[in-house]
Amino acid sequence: MLTGVVVGSTPPSSQSPHEIDSAASARSGGPSARATLALCAAILAAGALVRLLPCWNDFWLDEIWSWESARALTSPLGVFTEIHDTNNHHLNTLLIWALGDRDDWAIYRLPAFVAGVASVALAGWLAAQRGRLEAVFATLLCAACFALIHFSSEARGYSLMVFFALAALAASDRFERSGSRTAAAVFSACVVLGFLAQLFFVFFWAGVFVQGLWRALRRGGDAWRRLLTLHGLPSLLFAALWFVDLRYLEESGGPPADVPLLLARIFGFTLGLPIARELALPGALFTAVVLGLALAKLAREGDDAWLLHAIAIVIAPALGFGSLRPEVIELRYFLIGITLWLLLASFVLADAWRSGGVRRAVAAALVAVFVAGNAVHTAAFLRDGRGGFERALRYMAAHSSGSEVVVGSDHDFRNGTVLLFYARRLPPEKRLVYLPHRRWPLEGPEWLVVHAARRPAEPPALLELRSVRRYALAAEFDYAAISGFWWGIYRNLAAPGDPLPQRTRR
């Protein structure tokens, strides 16, 4: 039997599970309960597989940075008192610290993987109360969405953040329906853990808080007590977190936001579109139309969850980024909004499917494009991962003139941190010597690593530095999609040793 709770619209508590399931069956006019469960289970299994495989691709800069921060802690409390930068996702850093120093970094991605798979299951479970078709569509959209796949295999807090948002959504709905103290405790725990997973959880919390405030203003009386019961403890703990850590927080830095490209990436990696600036506006219009249809549907049904979703998906991010005006804005900051939008989109698709005719054909076509487009992004990710950092270092080691692999780069922190992390994977007879820019000899290091957020259309074949250092492009190591860097590996033409083989892309 596939029943559950979803986004504030709940059946009367007097309905039995059998009656609820019968109502869902009548509404869906679709697959039986057994077929729905089998479909969702098969989709979930496929979604788990495409999340598991990338767990073994290369660690990238932000994960390595988190790993180094965890290793430097003098105690677990240090995650709150010793590290004050935005790369510190408290819960993720604690998990890395607890796992210790491991040669196989895939284990550090296990919490994100488990949370990512559980989020897909939760999305289907949340959608199930509206109908079986909603459950199938929600499971399919969340399982196939590349943005969610990507962060389900990354040792950071974003996948955990999404999971705790969905779990808090289910708990708050159950509390609204039954007044269960257990549900209230689960909600409070999920909110606290969500904040510790990633601070952009605040967008979801703003939505669910305003929804509760709206109910209290309309109903009065017991609704105010319910609001305090749900949000009292999370508010106190957030204040404590502010006092010991957040007020000292420093921006970790990154490339400035390119808004058209940012939008193209958000909608492309959500909807399965090619990443092109020209598609940013069409993608925005499409998502706005679907969101508008879903919110209007909830409002017509008397479901005040329209308010929660409008704030969490659009209003809170717009107000937050509009007031703070951070230099760096990334797709990952919108991951909760993406997930909630997919949940709402499943309602619109299910309604269109039930209508039959042209609307069903359009829904089928949209789902096919969504799955196929996201599969293209996923295939590239499985092939290229977050970069070929270890392979690049091994390439330089194999073609170095001696036992020392002498390397410089165009960014000492971004590239140097990664190279030094992978240096322990070199063969025993080779040793990395990374030269910060200020320590370069006149003739330059033997190797030069040049990085970029996107592969240049035509990477220069030759680089000339200060008229005395000439480097030839020897190899390229690309990455797919969201996290990572393209690396161009350049060899000093004055370096001794055998000529390099013809330039290759890896």
The rounded distance, in Å, linking the Cα atoms of 368 and 381 is 20
For residue 105, give the DSSP letter: G
Report the candidate in 347, 341, 288 with the shortest Cα–Cα distance to residue 312. Answer: 341
93 touches 155 (CB < 8 A): no
Q: Which of 28-37, 93-102, 279-288, 315-324 has the least mean pLDDT?
A: 28-37
Is the distance from CB of 84 to CB of 250 less than 8 angstroms?
yes
Q: Tell me if residue 411 falls in helix, strand or coil.
A: coil
pLDDT band at residue 9 under the 50/70/90 scheme: very low
Residue 140 has pLDDT above 90, yes or no: yes
Query: Could you give the residue range(s) of every CATH 3.40.190 domain in the chain?
Result: 389-505
Q: Which tens digit of pLDDT belongs to each residue from 206-264? A: 999 999 999 999 888 888 989 999 999 999 999 999 999 988 888 776 777 788 999 99
Of residues 129 and 156, more confidence is placed in: 156
**CA dist., res. 408 & res. 214, Å (int):** 57
Query: For position 214, what pLDDT does the model report?
Result: 93
**Residue 389 near residue 61, CB atoms below 8 Å:** no
Residue 497 is predicted with a pLDDT of: 62
Q: Has residue 8 got a pLDDT over 60?
A: no
Return the number of other C-beta atoms located less than 10 Å from residue 210's C-beta. 18
In a 10 Å sphere around its CB, with 0-12 CB exposed, 13-18 middle and 19+ buried, how is residue 184 labelled? buried
Residue 400 above 70 pLDDT? yes
Residue 287 CA to residue 284 CA, distance in Å, equals 5
Which residues share a beta bridge with 492? 471
> In the structure, what pLDDT confidence band is assigned to residue 324 with cuts at 50, 70 and 90?
confident
pLDDT per residue as tens digits for the range 120-137: 999 999 999 899 999 999
Q: Which fold has domain 389-505?
A: D-Maltodextrin-Binding Protein; domain 2 (3.40.190)
- Percent of the chain at pLDDT > 90 equals 78
State how far the Cα of 361 lies from the Cα of 346, in Å rounded to an integer. 15
Enumerate residues 6+ apart whose C-beta is below 8 A from 114: none
Arithmetic mean of pLDDT, 316-338: 91
* Closest by Cα among 346, 199, 329 to 263: 329
What was the pLDDT predicted at 15? 40
- What is the value of pTM for the model shown? 0.91
Token match 């322990």: residue? 424
In the predicted structure, residue 1 carries a pLDDT above the cut 60: no
Structure tokens at 18: 């059998």
Predicted local distance difference test score (pLDDT) of residue 500: 59
How many Cα atoms sit within 13 Å of 418 on the Cβ side?
28
pLDDT class of 327 with cuts at 50, 70, 90 = confident
pLDDT at 2 over 70: no
Residue 4 has pLDDT above 50, yes or no: no
Instruction: Supply the pLDDT for residue 219.
Output: 87
- DSSP-derived secondary structure letter, 441: -
For 17, the enclosing helix (H) or strand (E) is helix 17-28
**Has residue 157 got a pLDDT over 50?**
yes
**Mean residue pLDDT across the chain:** 90
Across residues 414-438, what is the average pLDDT?
Answer: 95
Q: At what angle do helices 158-178 and 222-244 cross, to 10 degrees?
A: 160
Three-state secondary structure readout of 136-165: HHHHHHHHHCHHHHHHCCCCCCHHHHHHHH
Please tell me what DSSP assigns to residue 9. B
Q: Are 462 and 471 in contact (CB under 8 A)?
A: yes
Q: Are 474 and 391 in contact (CB under 8 A)?
A: no
What pLDDT does residue 446 have?
A: 93
Q: Would you say residue 204 has pLDDT above 90? A: yes
In which residue are the tokens 């289970």 written? 41
Tens digits of residue pLDDT in 265-323: 999 999 999 999 999 999 999 999 999 999 999 999 999 999 999 999 999 999 999 88
Q: Percent of the chain at pLDDT above 70?
A: 92
Task: Give me the DSSP letters along 387-409.
Answer: --HHHHHHHHHHT-SSSEEEEEE
* pLDDT at residue 482 tops 70: yes
- Report the pLDDT value the prediction gives residue 29, as an integer from 0 to 100: 59
